[in-house]
Amino acid sequence: MQIFQRDNMPKSVSSSTMDPEIAQWLKTGPVLGAHKPIHEQRREHDAFIDPVLPRIGRVEYLGIKGPHGTIPVRCYHPSTPGLAEGGALIYLHGGGFVVGSLDQFETAMCLLAEGSGAQVYAVDYKLAPEYQWPVQMEEGEFIVRWLHDNAAARGVDPNRIGLGGDSAGGNMTCTISLKLRDELGPALALQMPLYPEAAMPFQTPAGIENRTGGYVDTAGVFLFLWSLLPHGTDYSQPYVTPMNAQNHANLPTTLLVTCGFDMLRDVGHEYAVKLATAGNAITYIHHPDLPHGFIQMTRHSERCLAATRDLALKLGESL
């Protein structure tokens, strides 16, 4: 694990040797962006549902009336006080906007809540292609505003609310943070994009190196965008491609994570550099030996489990 701050950002990041446990599991695990119908990919991703969950205090099952109908939300309450007691993280799961369920991310949410002491609100936003952009972003933003307005009743300090997500959820973490800044909305205490889709990776070294053979295929981005965006949508705009924002100043304190074996490694690194250059407080973590999606693979790899637990501790320190 490599950790950087605003004043010592690396010029580039790379891969090393993949953790052998997870390399072995990936041979038979699901592939995101495979040449299969979306409904098959969704079913195959149930491989991420763990039969035994880590310790958690309690789980609340909420239904929040949002701009596009009811938004299911699971709130994970830690069993014991932690560093971020009184704080909260709203979490948007990954899956290329087309795949992913709260069940498939439940282990990671338990680990984040228990390890940080924060309440963790996992959002079951509507998937594409049934629902297209900006529905997903609007639902995530709605939950941020809802929690800010109801913080006292939820036992949350409104000044200690963070937004996080991985992959597609990392993209939305960045875009919603930009939108809230632009519209002078509720101030987030933290944004936590994990291996975010900050821009399209096709011509980056990481996109070429990791085009296939891992958890996600680079060409799958075509499927994700085709499913997500209404015909004719400008995919270069910053609320789709956050790298393209005119400026990245005055954004929340950031905890950003990339992985060596990930098509999004280089665009995530570039986004971290942009945030640092714009003067934002940032902790940038790079795992040269891990693949995209590692927080869902903790049952199959001690290294993935350790990295997720460390992330939870960093979350606690940040909130």
Which tokens belong to 161?
């609310």
Q: Is 14 a catalytic residue?
A: no
Establish whether 167 is a catalytic residue: yes
Residue from 15, 101, 167, 301 carrying the catalytic annotation:
167
Candidates 166, 292, 300, 301; catalytic one: 292
| Angle between the N-to-C axes of helices 168-182 and 135-149, in degrees from 0 to 180, rounded to the nearest 10 | 60
Q: Which of 19, 124, 166, 262 is catalytic?
A: 262
CA 198 to each of CA 214, 275, 290, 297: distance values in angstroms, whole numbers, following the listed order: 20, 12, 19, 23
Q: Quick one: which of 200, 295, 230, 224 has its CA closest to 257?
A: 295
- Integer Cα distance of 319 and 190 in angstroms: 7
- Residue that has been written with the tokens 């004719």 in this structure: 232
Going by C-alpha positions, the residue among 79, 7, 47 that lies closest to residue 273 is: 7
Does the annotation mark 266 as catalytic?
A: no
CB-based contacts of 156, cutoff 8 Å, min separation 6: 86, 87, 88, 119, 147
Q: Which positions are catalytic?
A: 167, 262, 292
